[in-house]
Amino acid sequence: MIADLLFPNRCIACNRIIDAQLLTCPLCMEQIHFTHTGYLDDSFMKQKCSLLFPVENAFALMNFEKENVSRRIIHDLKYRSREHVGRILAGWTTGQLDFQDQKPDLLVPVPLHPKKLKERGYNQLHLFTESLSAFYNIPFDHELIKRNHYSKAQALKDKQHRLETKNTFSITQAISGKHILLIDDVFTTGNTLATVAWEILSAGNNKVSILVMAVDV
């Protein structure tokens, strides 16, 4: 294709020309620190969640480290209009994530405020969630959780403001007796996920598990 010749796909980290279907070159791929922990393991990710809310299982694909390729990937997904990165990360996830006998009933991504969604043009979690839904044959719901307040990006907030999430989210419909897999991009303080998780748990006899693209270590 002429477009491929004029605008070749380049590694997200080092800018080398790579195959159109790839995200990184092999050398940069080796720099990504995948967690290699199972969904059912008593992992670092699960322990962090357990300090904040009752969690069934937890899975993080990558470690989120300063000046690492994983940080660049998430940044490009969220802030550089590279929505397709979500589909690639979903492919990486399905290669490692095995629900075994604890498959959730519903996949629910953390929502953006409508104003933020309009500004960005997409929710960085939607394509990722939809790809996982198709692979595992688990339904998803982008509308179950509503974000009530507009706020600037988490990355731009100081620690105190990151903790101010009271009444930030609400449930849009009655739901009970479900095992919800709550999906987010990065687990940092865990406060956002905890706020959403408590909304789901308080709504009825529900269970919550967590899946994130990366966990801050």
Helix (H, G, I), strand (E, B) or coil at 65: coil
Nearest Cα to 127, choosing from 183, 180, 186, 87? 87
Q: What was the pLDDT predicted at 167? A: 77
Domain range summary for the chain, segments of one domain joined by +: 1-31, 33-216
Confidence of residue 62 (pLDDT cuts 50, 70, 90): very high
How many residues are recorded in the chain? 217
Query: Do 104 and 138 meet the contact criterion of CB atoms below 8 Å apart?
Result: yes
Q: Which fold has domain 33-216?
A: Rossmann fold (3.40.50)
Q: Look up residue 142 and give its DSSP letter.
A: S
pTM equals 0.90
Q: Tell me: the pLDDT tens digits for 103-138?
A: 999 999 999 999 999 999 999 999 999 999 999 999
Tokens matching residue 15: 């800018």
Give the span between the Cα atoms of 188 and 192, in whole angstroms: 9
